[in-house]
C-alpha cells in the first residue's frame, strides 16, 4: 500500500477517480492485526487506489477529517467523500469488504 508523503499529495489523491485512505499508525495493535489482509483487499478491489496515512505524521489531516480512532477508512471519488468506516474498534476483513462494496452502490 502506498504511503502518503504530503498534505499536497492527499489533496491531489482525494480528487482522483477512486481512492481509499487508510488511517493508521505503527504503534496501533488493531492496525497491525489487519495488516496481513491489506494486500488481498488491494488485489480484490483493483478499481481503488489504497493510500496509507500515518496518523502521527499527518495529525492535521486526521483532525480535518474527524478521524479520532484508528484504523479508519475514508473513500473518495472525484473529490467527494463517498463513505467512511471510522471508529476505534478492531475491524475484520468482512467489515472492510462491506465498507468498500458500499462505496460503489
Beta strands in 1-105 (DSSP E): 2-3, 19-24, 49-54, 72-77, 80-85
Considering 31, 38, 61, 70, which one is annotated as catalytic? 31
What's the N-to-C CA distance of the chain in angstroms? 24
d(CA 88, CA 76) in angstroms, rounded, equals 21
Considering 28, 41, 61, 67, which one is annotated as catalytic? 28
Clarify whether 62 is annotated catalytic.
no
**Collapsed DSSP state (helix, strand, coil) of residue 30:** helix
Question: Would residue 78 be called left, alpha or beta, if left means φ above 0 and alpha means ψ between -120 and 50 degrees?
Answer: left
- Which residue numbers are catalytic? 28, 31
Amino acid at each position: 500500500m502506498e504511503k502518503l508523503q504530503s498534505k499536497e499529495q492527499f489533496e491531489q489523491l482525494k480528487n482522483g477517480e477512486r481512492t481509499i485512505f487508510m488511517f493508521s499508525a505503527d504503534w496501533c495493535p488493531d492496525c497491525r492485526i489487519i495488516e496481513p489482509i491489506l494486500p488481498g483487499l488491494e488485489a480484490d478491489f483493483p478499481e481503488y487506489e489504497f493510500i496509507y496515512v500515518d496518523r502521527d505524521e499527518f495529525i492535521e489531516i486526521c483532525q480535518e477529517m474527524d478521524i479520532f480512532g484508528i484504523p479508519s477508512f475514508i473513500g473518495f471519488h472525484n473529490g467527494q467523500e463517498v463513505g467512511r468506516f471510522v471508529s476505534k474498534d478492531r475491524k475484520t476483513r468482512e467489515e472492510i469488504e462491506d465498507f468498500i462494496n458500499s462505496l460503489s452502490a
